[in-house]
Amino acid sequence: MDACEAIVLEEGLAAASPARVAGRVGLDRTTVHHYFRTQADLLAGLVERIVDGYLAEAGDLETWRGPGESVANLLDFLLSPGFTLPRYDRLVDEFAAASHRDAEVRSQLRRLYRTLEEWTVSMLLKAIPDAPPDRVRETAYALYALVEGAYLLHAQGFPDDRLQAARKTARKLVEALQDETANSAQPHEESA
């Protein structure tokens, strides 16, 4: 996977084939073919590596204690330099560019985002256990749309204070979910 990653970073996603990876690491093509029969298999392995990298960065968040603290930590993490891993960000950019031309790449990129979305759903449910799952999923999706857009613009030279503005907006999304959950848990007064 190191060789595959290096090829993608140097030459693009299309250049990463089992034969090129085998040549890069000095193995016989059939040896690599045993583990990765197709380029799609290589891409799936690379997506797993990217997801594992992001989730490893998030490892400490798994031990959150209080609901308020956990939501703040989640948002601070998602919109912080700790969440951007330049090497993985470049790989995701390669997937994004190629996804417009290749259905398999698009499928792998969607799998990557869905995995990260599911992780966010699980973190939100830990922090707000009574929240309706469909609203949690909507909020997680909105958070990822915000995060991706914020980092895309940040990479284009927008200043760091824009990330802070995105974090503020993300907190409002989660606060709305918390408020809805709290309001639905309160007994409703019946009018006479």
Tokens of 31: 């040896």
**Per-residue pLDDT tens over the stretch 125-139:** 988 999 999 999 999
Q: What is the pLDDT of residues 33-64, one digit of tens each?
A: 888 988 889 989 999 998 888 777 776 665 55
Residues 6+ apart with CB under 8 A from 148: none
Report how far Cα 21 is from the mean position of its chain's Cα atoms: 26
| 0.85 surpassed by pTM | no
Rounded alpha-carbon distances, angstroms, from residue 89 to 26, 47, 78: 27, 12, 13
Any idea which architecture 65-185 has in CATH? Orthogonal Bundle (1.10)
Nearest residue to 92 via CA among 152, 146, 20, 166: 152
Residue 77 vs residues 83, 126, 147, 181: alpha-carbon distances, Å: 6, 16, 10, 23
